[in-house]
Structure formats: structure tokens, C-alpha cells
Amino acid sequence: MAPPLSDRGDHRPAAKTPAEVWVVKEGRGQPRSDQLATEEPLEIRLLAGRAKQTVAVTMRTPGADFELAAGFLFGEGILHARDEIARIAYCLDAEVPSDQQYNIVNVSLRADALPDLATLERHFYTTSACGVCGKASLDALRVRGCPAAPPGPEVSADLVTSLPDKLRQAQGIFETTGGLHGAALFDAHGDLVAVREDVGRHNAMDKLIGWAFLDGHLPLANHIVMVSGRASFELLQKCLVAGIPIFCAVSAPSSLAVMVARDFGLTLVGFLRGERFNVYTGHERIRLSVLTSSSSA
């Protein structure tokens, strides 16, 4: 049974914030109304028995906050099954001002005591830009017992090149603000399953995986993830933990992202733009019409 959720409220901050801007073109200025991607802090708290502890604060775009909290906790190895959660709710503590209650999410556990948080791989404070990098490592993933990716689906190059346009078309808030990262889940036929947006690419991925975690869809062994930015270690880690064998990004991967993909059998696609892309690892899952070997000039 899924944990009770309460993700609605009259005073919840919106994902978009109106703004007045001056548009300057050829030296002439003109006022115009605009929409900005909202960026506000979200504090994630764990509650068990009489204990309560803040485990992360991240700058995020409001919306799908419970999915973000659940995805973060699952990705960091604090939660393993949705049945561990008794309830997810916004903070209703009397000492918290009403306009801040929707920036604090309480995740209440069924257990009587908090789990060991010593292995939390992200620091107490994370940013929307890139998180606190360096604490997590390949060794940490091995210690956690993360299994290698399953054989997974084989997909055509044409299917892969169709994904960026499908992601952009599904990004509703990006269309009006131009300021959000997107993470989309596709099935092996290239059909969109779910998409999430956020000012932080890690948050967008947490929201996507949190949705799958809370709805009981994990592992996602026959699926593909497409992200709007670059491929980082943390994003590949989240992909691995969720059991997704194919990761695609419109931009470049980092060296550590490639190492994770190689060591755990993931297919990593980068620089996916137009009809061209690079396959850094796991090329056996990409079906090509022609494969030519390199030759010297």
C-alpha cells in the first residue's frame, strides 16, 4: 500500500513567478511581462518514533515535492521500499510560519527509530546547481551492493535521436520560463512515461525516480532516461539505483559518470543533438544500421 500523501495546499508556492523585464533590441527598450522558474529551499526531514532529523536542504522548483523527497532518500540508500514510509506531509509545526510550511517536507517512517544516516552520500546542504560533490564514489556504490544493470532493451539509433524533441515538447514549465532542467522516462518503444522539471537537474531526476518509487514501478529495467543537461556522477548513480539501463543526455558526460556507466554496465549516450550522438559505454544496446571501423587519414 502506498504511503498517505498530502501534497496540496492553498498557500503552496507556484512553479512559476511573474516578473517585469525590459527587452532590449538594437538599442531600443520595451517593458514586457515575463515568467521565471521559481527557486525556493526545500528541507527534507525524517521522523521515526519521537526522533526527528533534517537530512537535506535543496534549492528546488516547487512541485512534486514529495516525489523529490522520496527520490532523494531512495537514491541515497536511506529508503529501500515504499512500505517503510508511513506518511509524507508538509510541515505543520506551530513554530513554523505558515508561508514556510510548504518548504519543509516531513517523511514519517513506520520504524520506531531513525535509520543510520552515516552513509548519506550527499551533505546536509545541497544546491540546485550540482549538489555537494566528492563524497560519493564508485567504492560507495559497491559497498551499497548496487547490482550491475540488466541486459536491458536494444533500441534503434532513430529512437534515440527522437528523444530530445519529445522531452522538450513535454516540458510545460520550460516552455514559458526557459529556465528548467528536465528528466524524462521513456519505454523501450520511445513512448513517454513520465517527465519532471526543476531548476536543479539532480532534483528533476529525484522527482522522476521518486514518482516511480512511490507508485511501485521500480526497477525500471526496460526504460530509458533522457535529461536536458550534462551527465554527471550523481545522475548516473540515481539511474543505476533505479535499475534504468540506458541514460541519454544532450550535453557532455563527466569522467566519473563514464566510469560508473562502464563499471556497472549502463549505456551512456552524450551530446545527443539532431541526428548525432556519442555512445560512451554499453553500445551493444544501440542498434545501428551501419558500423564502420576507424581508419587513419
Place of cell 527534507: 44
DSSP 253: B
Residue 292 burial by Cβ neighbours in a 10 Å radius (0-12, 13-18, 19+): exposed
How far apart are alpha carbons 170 and 164 in whole angstroms? 10
β-pairing verdict for 246-249 and 223-227: parallel
130 a catalytic residue:
yes
Q: Report the alpha-carbon distance of residue 198 to residue 183 in Å, rounded.
A: 9
Torsion angle (degrees, nearest 10) of CA 92, 95, 98, 100 = -90
- Give the side-chain half-sphere CA count within 13 A for 106: 18
* Beta strands, E only, the chain: 5-6, 16-25, 28-37, 40-48, 51-60, 85-90, 104-109, 155-156, 181-187, 192-198, 223-227, 246-249, 267-273, 276-281, 286-287
Number of helices followed by number of strands (H, E) in the chain? 7, 15
Alpha carbon distance 268, 163 (integer Å): 14
Cell (9 digits) for 181: 532542467
- Which of 91, 130, 146, 248 is flagged as catalytic? 130
Catalytic residue ranges: 130
